[in-house]
Structure formats: C-alpha cells, structure tokens
A and B are shown apart, each in its own frame.
Chain A
Amino acid sequence: MSDRAAPGQRPPALAIRGLAKRFGSKVAVNSIFLDVPAGSFYGLVGPNGAGKTTSLSMATGLLRPDAGQVWVHGVDVWGSPLEAKRLMGLLPDGVRLFDRLTGEQLVTYAGLLRGMDKDTVADRVKDLLATLDLAKDAGTLVVDYSAGMTKKIALASALIHAPRLLVLDEPFESVDPVSAANIKDILNSYVESGGTVIVSSHVMDLVQRMCDHVAVIAGGNVLAAGTVDEVRGGLSLEDKFVELVGGRNQTAGLQWLRTS
C-alpha cells in the first residue's frame, strides 16, 4: 500500500490521501486517494454529480474536508494554506466573479491579491488579455461578458501569478473552438516547461487527446487512475468510461421520435 503513505522525497504535484466529504446524509466524496505526478497533464472525468468539483474544491483549499489530507508539491494544503495557495492557480466552476470590475481590473485584482508588484502585474495582464483575445474588451465590465469570455477572464486570473500547479474545473465549457485551441496551446507549453495541469471535464474525446494521465470518478469514488493508455486499455476513453460508470439505457428509446 505504498500509495497510502505520505508523499516521499520528490513529491507529486498533488497528493490526495483519504479525502472525504458528506453533505447531510449524502456522501459526496468517499475517501479518495490520488497522485498527480509533477509535469503531467491530468484529466479528471466523471458523470454529473460524481464529486469532481467537491474533490477539487477540497484539494485547493476552498472546502474543508471531513477527513483526509492534501499536499501540493509537498506542502500541506490545510496545514499551511497560504504557502500552498501560492503554488496553485485555480479556475473554479460555478462560482461568481467580481463582475462589476472590468476584465482588466479583475485580472489585476487577482494579481495584486497575491502580493505581486504593480509593474509585473501590469505586464502580465497585458500579455494575458492579448493571448486570450480579450484585449478589445479589457475595459468592459465582466458582467457584460459572454459565457466564454467570462471563462477566459477567470482563466487569466488563475494564470497571473505563474503557479506550478493549475487546477481547472471545466475550462472549455462554452468557450469557442478558436479560443479553446489557443487555451490548449497555452496549457501544452506550460506542461512542457514543467508545470502541472489538472482539468476536469466530461468531454472524453478532449481528455483523451489532450491529457497524458486520467482518473475516472463516479459516486464519490476513484474507479480508475493512471496514464490514459493504461486506463483505456485499447478501448476509446469514452467506451471505457461508459463501461466503468455504467448507466446506459438499454431500452429501445423513444419510439415516436422517428421521421420515417
């Protein structure tokens, strides 16, 4: 049971040990164990309500777990949160932004909150807005942004301090294909330079093409974890996922929904 021990000499980017959370009588996350190797592009897949967002919230210090521990590059997230959060960039799903700020103000705000100096923040904000194709809307209030633009400005806020680990919850939802391709390029070069990315998604195809590691989560449990090739074992990731998770309808479908 070596994977149950505390992280060793060269710590993984993210080590999760026995993380558990229940809301009332519903067990959201059921004591999960996971190692995300440094320098990997890690996919987290699972059906809706599988516990992906809850797990990531606990791993990044947003939600206090009932039990278990998390280390980011060997730093205990719940023991020394301020130190751990310096190492992480986070794009949470389903939370609001300070949307009465302009896009430029919001990203600047994220940088200044992390104690970065003014000039570095200004330079990086300019770069990020240009790269994410938001320069023309930099002075527009975030509340007037489209869903995709909102996602991109949140991503910019997560990147501003050049973290060593990026945790992205549903980063491609409602993002247009061109911007998605740009984001993928940014993430790929980030991983090549030694950074670690964790993305959660339920688009299997995207995870299979983009990630080198994957974990399948359902019902609050990790069903499988490892490199993408190990997990899918010859099948496509989508087929393997359906096999692991189950739940396909076996009936003949809607008989009346036929045009001939």
Chain B
Amino acid sequence: MQVVGLVIGGLYGLGILAMVMVGLVALGAQGPEAIGTVIVLAGSALFLGWLIIPVVASGLDMTLDPARFTTYSIPMKSLLAGLALSSFIGVPGAVTLLATVGTAAAWWQHPLSALVAVLCGALAALTCIVASRAITAASASLASSRKFKDFSGMVLLVPLILLGPIITGVTAGIQDLQEYLPSLANTLSWTPLGAVWAVPAEVAAGHWVLAGAKLVIALAAVAALTLIWKICLAKALVTPAYAGSSRRSAGHMGFFKLFAATPTGAVAARSMTYWFRDPRYGTGLIMAPLLPLVFVFAGSQAAGTGSLGITLGLGGVLAAFLIVWSISSDISYDNTAFALHLAAGVSGTADRSGRALAAGTLGLLLGVLYAVVGAGIGGSWALLPATLGLTIGVVGSALGLASVFSSRFTMNAPLPGDSPMKSRPGNNFPAMLVQLAGFAGVGVLIVPELVLTIIALATHQPLFGWISLAVGVVLGGALLLAGIRMGAGQYNRRAPELLLAVSADR
C-alpha cells in the first residue's frame, strides 16, 4: 500500500510541478518587474508553507523525528547533512527543489538572470528544508506532548471544513489588493522570506548592488536557520520524549457529578468525558457545528440571504445527525478498554442507553440551538416546530438505529491516542456498506417527519409544523426505545464476540 501511496503522491507532485512550470514559462512573457513580483510572493508563500505545515501535521509523519535518533551516536555534522539530504528524497522535497530551480524558466528572456535563478533556486530549496527541520527540532518536545497532539489534530480540521468560504474570501481580498501587491513584494524582498527570490529580478534590472545585498540576506538566513537547527537538534537529542504532565490530586469528577450514580449514568458520564477529551470524538464535536455555517455560506452564494434561517435549521439537523450517528462505532472506538464493561457485567440496556444519553444530549442541544437561532435570524418563528420536529425525529431514529448497529458491527476506527486524521487500512467494502445501510436506514425511518416538515416549509402552514413536531417526538422516542431494546438484547448475546472483534485490531 505504501508503494501505491508513493506513486499517487509522485503523480500528484509531478502534476503540480508541470502546472508550475507552464505558469513560469507563461510568466516569462511579462516584463522583469512583474516576474519579480510574482516569484517573490509565491516564493515567500512556499517558505511559510514549509515552516507551518510540519508543525501542525507533526502527528502524521514522524519518520525522521529527532527523538528517534536519541539512542544512536551519530556525529552532529553527519546527522545534519543526512537529514537535510533525506528531505529532498521525499515527494514534497523533490518537487520543491525542481520548482525552485525551475524558476529559471521564467527568465528565458534574460539568460544571465536565468543562470542566477538556478543557483538561487537551489539555495531557496535548501532554505525551505533547513527551515522546516529547524522548526521540527525546536518543537520536538512540544510536539510529542499528548495535549499538543490532541489539540493540533483537531484544529487542523477547521480550515479544511471552511475551505470554501476561505477561498472565496481570499480571492475577493486579492482583487482589492492587486494595486498593493508590488509594494508588498518589494517589502518582502528585503526579508529572509523573499530575499533569495528577488536576486534574479535585480540582476535583470541591472541593480547589481541590490542583488548582492539581497543575496547576503538570503545566505545569512540559511546560516542562521542552520545554527538554530543545530542547537535545537542537539537539545532534542539529549532530551527524552515528553514525560507526563503535572500531577493533579483527587476531587475533579467532571461529568460524573452531573449524571446519576447508576450504571447507565456512569456510561453516559464516561461517554460525555470522551466527547470533550478524546480528539477522535472532539473533532466530530468541532466539525459538526461548523457544517451548518458552510451550508449557510453555500446557500447565500446561490440564493441570497432570504433562506438563511431555514438553511441554518436544516444544517443543524445534519449536524445533530452526525453527532448521534457516531455512536454506531462507539465500541470500535473503545477498543479493548471495552473489556471493563464486559468484566463488570454491565447490562446491555445500561451500556446502550448510557451511550445514547450522552450523544443524544449533545446532538439535541446542537440541533435545537441551530433551529432556534435560524428561526430568530430568518424571523420564521411560525415554522420553528417544523424544524424542531425533524431535529427530534432524526436524533431519536438515528440513536435507535446506531444502538442496534454498534452492538452488531465493529469497524477499523482510529486507535485510542492516534490522530483522528489517521486512516486505518482495512476499512473495507463491507464496512462501507454497513455505514451506507445505516444512512439509508435512518433516511427511511424519518420519512414521516421529513415529509411533514417539507410540506410545512413549502406551504408556510404552521399546522403541518406542529404535526411534524408531535410525530417527531412520538416516533423518534419510540424508535429510540425500540433500538435500545434490540441493541441491548444483541449486546447481551454478543458482548464477548464484540470484544474479540476489537481485540483483533490493536
């Protein structure tokens, strides 16, 4: 599988490289000032990327993590040179090197600048690598702490979800900025971020002194980064991996204080704690509330702000569904910690209803919040019962079906402590089918509420909304109880088999 990943990554890299080269050659038709501006800006962005990505993505690839070298006695010089060279072997490093050296292509009208650009490109690629290595080494002890890993893994997802709005915003911003860009590039060219990229442009313009000065800045930057890298690496090599956090004494019972002191209440309190403390659940809790906002954004692009309230309410239904449906893989997320439930002889009813209680509370709160806020913004209070009915119906039906599913199927979930982004091999076709069947099942179960809500929204007749609310409460509640009952029976029969299934996966 790794070879396949490498091939796909390589093809992707080649594609980007081809696009960059075509762009550079096309850029070469412009005057030297325009070429310089574009390359300085793009190059500065590339530096920033190499500085930022290794830190936030540190949980993803730690192959050359400095901490791994602590036990070997490798001379510092060999280690620095080896680590720097090895970075060029990977797809990002190789593509960066080719692209930076390839900036020469943009200077096809100015042969001397092209020659300078080849040398400066190599220097720039080296700077990228050294900068990213320096920052990895500097953050090594930070990045190996559990809290940092938990946090960065979750935060990384936020920009991904909001990619649409961000891109639109940035494009709009750039159009305003267009006059401002040349002066920005000029400023950047005097900083370590942009200096190296500006040298060929200065050569093309015949400003030899300026070219020399900027080259000095660039060389000084590499030297300084290498020194920082060396110091941080030396420190990281003699510092063992992050060892524990400060001690805390008793008395912090958290959610265990809020829920009843019964088996069901304990399971609910434990699940609730995990929703807030385990990044695998936490990412869901961060992503779900953002979804309605993405919907609203997409909706306002397409249809203006008139339907804002309704979109928000319906987005809230989806968010609530995503949260409550996640308990369908709850036992897979427990992994072998589930043995405690089995050893303690927890009844199926307590296990099922405790998990449903925690997820249901969160999902319902979120759904109702968005429905109410949506009605408030859209001024459509009369239609609030319609959205509420659908929300309650979806939460109840999905919880019921998920309770049955999670006592029947296990899947390859990320292991406890792993990055929530880490995909696990072996989530095969049957597992996908199970998930799809689940979605379809919930879709069928909520047909009555859905139809009533749609009629209410389409005809603006609040009566149908009230019927939808009544049906949602009754049908959702009944399906929830039936699901817990069925799931509990299944759990009582199959609990050892569930434990065996998740034990295979550690």
Interface residues of A (CB under 8 A from B): 60-64, 81-82, 84-86, 88, 90, 92, 94-102, 104-105, 108-110, 112-115, 117-118, 121, 126, 129, 135-141, 143-146, 157-158
Please tell me which one of the listed residues A84, A86, A97, A104 contacts residue B253 in the complex, with CB atoms under 8 A apart.
A104
Contact across chains for B254 and A62 when beta carbons are under 8 A apart: no
Contact across chains for B146 and A105 when beta carbons are under 8 A apart: no
Residue of B nearest to A125 (CB): B250
A-B contact count (CB 8 A): 132
Chain A residues lying within 8 Å of B335, measured Cβ to Cβ, are 96
Contact across chains for A109 and B247 when beta carbons are under 8 A apart: no
Chain B residues lying within 8 Å of A136, measured Cβ to Cβ, are 247, 249
> Which 4 interchain pairs have the tightest Cβ spacing?
A139-B248, A85-B345, A112-B266, A138-B250
Contact across chains for B499 and A62 when beta carbons are under 8 A apart: yes
0/1 interface trace, chain B 249-276, chain A, CB 8 Å (1 if under)? 1111110100001110111011001100
Q: Which of B64-72, B289-297, B336-344, B449-457 contacts A (4 or more CB under 8 A)?
A: B336-344
Q: Nearest chain B CB to A109's CB is how many angstroms away?
A: 5
Known A-B contacts A113-B266, A113-B267, A144-B146; A129 and B344 likewise in contact (beta carbons under 8 Å): no
Bound together, the chains give a CA A114 to CA B266 distance in angstroms of: 10
Known A-B contacts A136-B247, A136-B249, A144-B146; A108 and B256 likewise in contact (beta carbons under 8 Å): yes
Bound together, the chains give a CA A144 to CA B144 distance in angstroms of: 12
**Residues of B in contact with A, size category:** 35 or more
Please tell me which one of the listed residues A95, A114, A129 contacts residue B250 in the complex, with CB atoms under 8 A apart.
A129
Please tell me which one of the listed residues A101, A109, A110, A135 contacts residue B249 in the complex, with CB atoms under 8 A apart.
A135
Q: List 22 A-B contacts (CB under 8 A).
A: A62-B499, A64-B496, A81-B345, A90-B343, A95-B339, A97-B340, A98-B270, A98-B337, A98-B340, A100-B277, A105-B256, A109-B270, A110-B340, A113-B263, A113-B350, A135-B250, A137-B249, A139-B249, A139-B251, A140-B245, A140-B247, A144-B244
Bound together, the chains give a CA A146 to CA B247 distance in angstroms of: 12
Contact across chains for B343 and A137 when beta carbons are under 8 A apart: no
B417 within 8 A of A: yes
Q: Nearest chain A CB to B420's CB is how many angstroms away?
A: 13
Q: A64-B500, A105-B253, A140-B247 are in contact. List 9 more A-B contacts (CB 8 A).
A: A85-B345, A95-B503, A98-B337, A105-B256, A109-B266, A110-B340, A135-B250, A138-B249, A139-B248
Chain A residues lying within 8 Å of B342, measured Cβ to Cβ, are 61-62
Interface residues in B458-506 by Cβ distance below 8 A to A read: 496-497, 499-500, 503, 506
Contact across chains for B265 and A112 when beta carbons are under 8 A apart: yes
Contact across chains for A102 and B247 when beta carbons are under 8 A apart: no
B186 within 8 A of A: no
Residue of A nearest to B496 (CB): A64
Bound together, the chains give a CA A85 to CA B346 distance in angstroms of: 9
Bound together, the chains give a CA A104 to CA B262 distance in angstroms of: 17
B152 within 8 A of A: no
B347 within 8 A of A: yes
Chain A residues lying within 8 Å of B278, measured Cβ to Cβ, are 100
Bound together, the chains give a CA A233 to CA B500 distance in angstroms of: 39
Contact across chains for B341 and A113 when beta carbons are under 8 A apart: yes
Q: Nearest chain B CB to A257's CB is how many angstroms away?
A: 21
Contact across chains for A112 and B339 when beta carbons are under 8 A apart: no
B416 within 8 A of A: yes
Chain B residues lying within 8 Å of A158, measured Cβ to Cβ, are 343
Bound together, the chains give a CA A126 to CA B263 distance in angstroms of: 20
Contact across chains for A121 and B261 when beta carbons are under 8 A apart: yes
Bound together, the chains give a CA A141 to CA B277 distance in angstroms of: 10
Chain B residues lying within 8 Å of A105, measured Cβ to Cβ, are 253-254, 256, 270, 273
Bound together, the chains give a CA A84 to CA B267 distance in angstroms of: 21
Contact across chains for B244 and A60 when beta carbons are under 8 A apart: no
0/1 interface trace, chain B 337-378, chain A, CB 8 Å (1 if under)? 101111111110010000000000000000000000000000
Q: Nearest chain A CB to B83's CB is how many angstroms away?
A: 30
Counting chain A CB atoms within 10 Å of each CB, the highest count among B146, B249, B269, B278 belongs to B249
Chain B residues lying within 8 Å of A84, measured Cβ to Cβ, are 345
Known A-B contacts A62-B339, A62-B342, A144-B146; A109 and B256 likewise in contact (beta carbons under 8 Å): yes
